[in-house]
Every structure is written in structure tokens, then in C-alpha cells.
Amino acid sequence: MIKMPKRELNVLVLQDTDRIADAVRAALQDAPESERPGLERAAALIAEAAGRSEAELRGD
């Protein structure tokens, strides 16, 4: 039997969530209707992540 190496999940923790959230909000102001759902979802995910610790985001 061939043993495959364990795959690890790599997570990048962003420390600049305020700046990222500002950029997404600015993009929403000028976004065409077709882009709004994705930007709104991104804004919600950023807001959720901003309230979590680095360990929580990594899944520790």
C-alpha cells in the first residue's frame, strides 16, 4: 500500500482587515449591479473575520 503524505491547510491571516473592508466598501459604491452580490458577500466575510482571533482563523 502506498502511503500518501498528509495534506496540510495553509491559512493566511490578514492583519489589515480595516483597510480591506474600506476598499471593498468603496468598490461597492461604484460597482455595477452584477458585481454587487460578490462584493457584499466579501464585505460580510471580512466583517466576520475581523472579530475573530488569529488562532480562530487558523482553526487552532
Domain membership of residue 35 as a residue range: 16-55
At 10, the amino acid letter reads: N
**How many domains does the chain fold into?**
1
Residue 40 lies in a domain: yes
Residue 54: its pLDDT value, please?
Answer: 74
Residues 6+ apart with CB under 8 A from 30: none
Residue 38 lies in a domain: yes
Query: Could you read off the pLDDT of 2-44 as tens digits, one per residue?
Result: 776 777 766 666 667 888 899 999 999 999 999 999 999 999 9
**Under a CB-based contact definition with an 8 Å cutoff, are residues 52 and 33 in contact?**
no
Residue 21 lies in a domain: yes
